[in-house]
Chains A and B, each alone.
Chain A
Amino acid sequence: MLVRLVTLVLATLLATAGVAHAQGPLVVSSWGGNWKDTVERVVGKAFTAKTGVPVEFEVGGTIDRLAKARVAKGSPLVDITLTTTHVGRLYISDGLFARLDMAKLPNAKQIAREAIRSEYHVGAWAYVYTIVYRPDLVKEEITRWADLWSPSLRGKIAMPDFDPSHIITIAALMEGGNELSWEKGQERLRQLKPNIVAFFSTDAQSQDLMKTGQAPVQVMLSVNAYHLQEQGIGVRVVQPRDFPGIVGIDTMALMAGSKKSDLAHQFIDLALSKEVQTELVKSLRAGPTNTGAIVPAPLRGQPGIFLTASEWKERGYIMNDEARAKTLPAWREWFTANIVKK
C-alpha cells in the first residue's frame, strides 16, 4: 500500500515538473542592474516556488527593449514587459501589449486607482522626479521648486535631456498651467538656463555628476537618490512645498502573442500582492502600488512613497500618459533649441 502511494506521489510530481518544464521559462523584459535583481529575487523566486516555472530575464534600456519588441511583433521573445507608463503607451499604440484579464488579477483590486494605467498595463511601483541636492556643496536650503531659480544655484543644476517633461510640467504648473498648456512655462524655463550646468542621458551619468559634485543639484528620480544615500553620498531628497514632485510609475504588461498568458497573469498578480509589494518597497525604496503593503517607518512620508489614496492624489502630480507620449517630441525639440543649446 505504502509502496503504491509513494509511486503515485512520485509519478504525480514528475508529471507536474514535466509539464512545467515543457512549457519552458516565463520570460520577463526588464531594466538591468538593481531593477532586474530585485524583481528576480522578490517576484521571480516566489513565482517559481508557487508554480514550478522558472523565470528568465531579458534586460536592456527602455527604448532598446521597445525596439526589440517591435522587431519581434507577433511572436514576442518575452512574455511580460516592465516599462515606464508613457512608453507603455507606445507599446499599446503599436499593438505590442495584450489586454489584461482583470478577473485573473485579483490583487489588482487592492492597488491604487492611479496605478491602473490602462487595460493593458498596471503599475508595479512608483517614484517621483524631485529635487535632490548635496547640502555640503549648496549653502542655501532648497525646499521649493521655485528655489531652483535662485541666482545662488548658477551653474549647479543638472537634469535629464532625454525627457524634459518633468521640469516643463513644473514650470507650467508654476505659471498656472499644466502639461497640456505647457507653453505657459516657457519663459520661466528660459530664466532657469544660467543655473543649468549639465544634462544627463542616463541614471549612471546623473549619479556620477552628483558624486563628483559637478552638478550638486538635480531633478532626479527619488529611487536613485535613495540609492545614492545607501552608497553614503549625503544627498537630501526634497518634498517641494510649492508643487508636488512628478510621479513616475513603472508598469507590467503582457506581450501580445505570448503563449504563456495564464502564467504571465499569475506573475503580474503575484507582483501586485501585498506581501511582494512590501518586499519591493524595502528593496527598491519605491512607493508600493498596493495600498495594503507595509512600508518601513523611515520610508513613510518620504518623496515618492504613497500609502493611501489621498497621498497618491496630494503628494505627487501624475501626468496624462497619452498627452506625454504624444507631446514629448515637441517638448524635446523646444527644450533642446531653447534650453540645452548654447
Chain B
Amino acid sequence: MKLLLAPAVGVVAVFAAALAALLQYSVLEFIPGSLRTGGFTLANFRGVLAPGYLDYVWDTALLSVATTGLTLVASYPIAYALARTPSRRIRSWLLVLTLAPFFTGAIVRTYAWMLVLGNTVVTWPVPMLFTERGVLVGLVHFSMPTMILLLAAAISHVDPVYERAATSLGARPARVFWRVTLPLSMPGVVSGSLIVFAWTFSAFPTPELLGGGKVKMIANVVKDLALDSFNWPGAAAFAMLALAVTLALLAGLSRVAAGRAP
C-alpha cells in the first residue's frame, strides 16, 4: 500500500520544491537592469498589493465567476441531451462535437476566435475582439467540453424513475427539472464549476490573444513581470498572491458546495 503512494509523494515533493523556490524568489530584492537579486525584502509583496495589481486579481475573479456561470448555463442542455437522448446516433454526434475542441488545441481555437470576434468574418454591433466580452466568449468555449462531460456523467446517474414519478404526480417539466433533476445532478454542477473556476483563474492564452494586451488576467501579468520587465522576484510575489487567492476562493466554494450537496 505504501509503495502505491510513492508516485504521489514524489509528485508532491517536486511541487513543494518548486513552490519553495518561488517563495524564496518572492522575498528577494529586485535590482532593475540586472538579473541578480538583492537581500531579503517584503517590498515585492507591498508592490503587488498595490491597487493597480489588485485590480487584476479582481478582474480575474470576475471573469472566472462569469465564465463559470455562463459555461454552466450553456453546457447543461447539451449535457442533458447527451445523457438522456434515446438515439445512439444523436448521442454519438453530440459526443463527437463535444470532444472535437480537445483535438484542436487552445492556440488554434483561440486564433479561430480572433477571426470570428474581429470584424473580418462577422460585423458585430459592439466591439468584441480585445474586450472583456471577447475574452469571456473564448473562456466559455474553452471550458464547455469539460463541463458538458462532467454534467453528462452526473445527469446519467439520476434515475429517470424519479422524474417520471414527479411527472405522474402532476409536476410540470420545469418543476421536475428544478425540484428533481437539477438537485440530483448537483455533484456534477459542483465539480464542473470548481474545475472551470480554477482553470479560468489561471487562464493564459485566451486573455493573451483575445485580450489584445488590453484585458489581462493574473497569469498574463505574471508573465509580463517575469519576461518583459525581467522582475522575477515581483512575478514570484504576484504568483504567490494569486495562489493564495485561488486556494482561499476554492476552499470557500467547496464549503458552500458541501453545504448544498444532496
A residues sitting closer than 8 Å to B (CB atoms) are 63, 66, 70, 89-90, 93-94, 158, 161-163, 197-201, 205, 208-209, 212-214, 322, 325-330, 332-333, 336-337, 340-342
In the complex, which residues of chain A have a beta carbon less than 8 angstroms from the beta carbon of B262? Answer: none
Q: Which of B114, B212, B229 contacts A332 (CB 8 A)?
A: B229
Residue of A nearest to B231 (CB): A329
Could you tell me the distance in whole angstroms from the C-beta of A83 to the nearest C-beta in chain B? Answer: 13
Q: Is B163 an interface residue (CB 8 A)?
A: no
Q: Which of A66, A213, A329 contacts B32 (CB 8 A)?
A: A329
Q: Is B230 an interface residue (CB 8 A)?
A: yes
CA distance A197 to B30 in the complex (A): 32
Could you tell me if A63 and B227 are in contact, using CB atoms closer than 8 angstroms? yes
In the complex, which residues of chain A have a beta carbon less than 8 angstroms from the beta carbon of B33? Answer: 89-90, 93, 322, 325-328
Could you tell me the distance in whole angstroms from the C-beta of A339 to the nearest C-beta in chain B? Answer: 10
Given A198-B212, A341-B55: A330 in contact with B32 (beta carbons within 8 A): yes
Given A93-B33, A94-B36: A197 in contact with B130 (beta carbons within 8 A): yes
In the complex, which residues of chain A have a beta carbon less than 8 angstroms from the beta carbon of B214? Answer: 198-199, 340-342
CA distance A158 to B213 in the complex (A): 10
In the complex, which residues of chain A have a beta carbon less than 8 angstroms from the beta carbon of B104? Answer: none
Listed from nearest, the 10 A-B pairs whose CB atoms lie closest are A199-B213, A326-B33, A198-B212, A329-B229, A161-B213, A94-B35, A93-B34, A162-B228, A325-B33, A63-B227
20 intermolecular pairs with C-beta atoms under 8 Å apart: A63-B228, A63-B230, A93-B35, A94-B35, A94-B36, A161-B213, A197-B130, A198-B129, A198-B213, A199-B213, A212-B118, A322-B33, A325-B32, A326-B32, A326-B33, A327-B32, A328-B229, A333-B52, A336-B52, A340-B216
Most A Cβ at <10 Å: residue of B32, B114, B120, B228: B228
CA distance A340 to B130 in the complex (A): 11
Could you tell me the distance in whole angstroms from the C-beta of B141 to the nearest C-beta in chain A? Answer: 19
On chain B, the number of residues with a Cβ less than 8 Å from chain A's Cβ atoms is: 30
Q: Which of B32, B129, B224 contacts A162 (CB 8 A)?
A: B224
In the complex, which residues of chain B have a beta carbon less than 8 angstroms from the beta carbon of A200? Answer: 212-213
Could you tell me if A214 and B35 are in contact, using CB atoms closer than 8 angstroms? no
Could you tell me if B213 and A201 are in contact, using CB atoms closer than 8 angstroms? yes
Q: State which residues 22-73 of B face A: CB under 8 Å.
A: 30, 32-36, 52, 55
Could you tell me if A90 and B35 are in contact, using CB atoms closer than 8 angstroms? yes
Given A94-B36, A326-B33: A163 in contact with B228 (beta carbons within 8 A): yes
In the complex, which residues of chain B have a beta carbon less than 8 angstroms from the beta carbon of A199? Answer: 212-214
Could you tell me if B229 and A214 are in contact, using CB atoms closer than 8 angstroms? no
Could you tell me the distance in whole angstroms from the C-beta of B123 to the nearest C-beta in chain A? Answer: 13
Extra contacts, 7 of them, besides A90-B34, A340-B216 (Cβ < 8 A), are A93-B33, A158-B212, A198-B213, A200-B212, A325-B230, A328-B32, A333-B229
Could you tell me if B32 and A214 are in contact, using CB atoms closer than 8 angstroms? no
In the complex, which residues of chain A have a beta carbon less than 8 angstroms from the beta carbon of B35? Answer: 66, 70, 90, 93-94
In the complex, which residues of chain A have a beta carbon less than 8 angstroms from the beta carbon of B209? Answer: 205
CA distance A198 to B209 in the complex (A): 10
